[in-house]
Amino acid sequence: MNGTVGIVGVGNMGGAMAARLLACGWRVRACDLVPAKVQALVAQGAEASAMPADAARGADALVVCVVDAAQAQDVLFGPQGAAATLAAGRAVLLCPTIAPDDTEQLAAQLAVRGLEAIDAPMSGGPARARDGTMSLMVACTDAAHAANRALLDALSTKVFRVGAHPGDGARTKLVNNLLAAVNLAGAAEAIALAERLGPDAARTLDVIEQSSGQSWIGSDRMRRALAGDYAPRAHVTLLHKDTRLALEAARAAGFSPALGRLAHEAFVRAVAAGRADLDDAVLLEGMRHP
């Protein structure tokens, strides 16, 4: 048996990470605002934690897998926050896609309490999180990395150590996600064009997947879109948020990403059209009917 890990936020990604750790022999304490998500993991062997503080008490590490910086702040330092019960010297994996400044602020607050921050945003979707092949972009001290190497390796076979300073993982993730958004918007536009020109769209995607236009996110999302499957694995709101954060970071660095702005606008339109809670494959609908 490996150690005990608290996971706060067991939705699509956090739940898949919890299932992965359970399969690898870790003890998992699951905490989420939606009881059904926790109970699904209890059925797999996890322990239910009513509050973040309960998930962290006595744990060897804590994984925070919520949506944004405000939620992470509340999970760690709110009235039932995990930072108060996690033992000194333990690590907190910060997995949300948030602004680098927010990551740095959370890391500083954790350090005051004697806790290590591991900036660890992830990429690849729930299926890859479940089988341990998602990407983890890790930035932390050498000591935190060494102490938590077994946990990181259990979570993913693709752990990238991008720096020693929390915040560098967040920066790497924003760059990745801006490109993901550009690729997804481009793939949706290309498939919409194929439909207008006449060739079979699914067969066109077959060609693209073996040719120079291929992208993982384009294939993954457009296969679902062509099947009319918009059940949310990755809500439109996520890349809407992430592209906004990436553009804000770019402005702060004095850089103007023109393609990134266009991709962000595609997500803005999807939200305005009432598609915020659908899978981001639904961008195809916006390209079909601009």
Catalytic residues: 173
Quick one: angle between helices 258-272 and 236-252, nearest 10?
150
- Please give the full DSSP string across 127-162, using - where no structure is assigned: HHHHHT-SEEEEE--HHHHHHTHHHHHHH-SEEEEE
Q: What is the 3-state secondary structure (H, E, C) of 201-265?
A: HHHHHHHHHCCCCCCHHHHHHHHHHHCCCCCCCCEHHHHHHHHHHHHHHHHHCCCCCHHHHHHHH
Distance in angstroms (rounded) separating the CA atoms of residues 1 and 154: 13
The two tokens of residue 232 are: 């949310």
CB distance 85 to 180 below 8 Å: no
Q: Could you tell me whether strands 158-163 and 135-139 are parallel, antiparallel, or unpaired per DSSP bridges? A: parallel
Fill in the amino acid letter for 2: N
82 closest CA partner among 167, 4, 8: 8
Which residues pair with residue 99 across a beta bridge? none
Q: Give me the numbers of helices (H) and strands (E) for the chain, helices first please.
A: 14, 9
The two tokens of residue 72 are: 């992470």
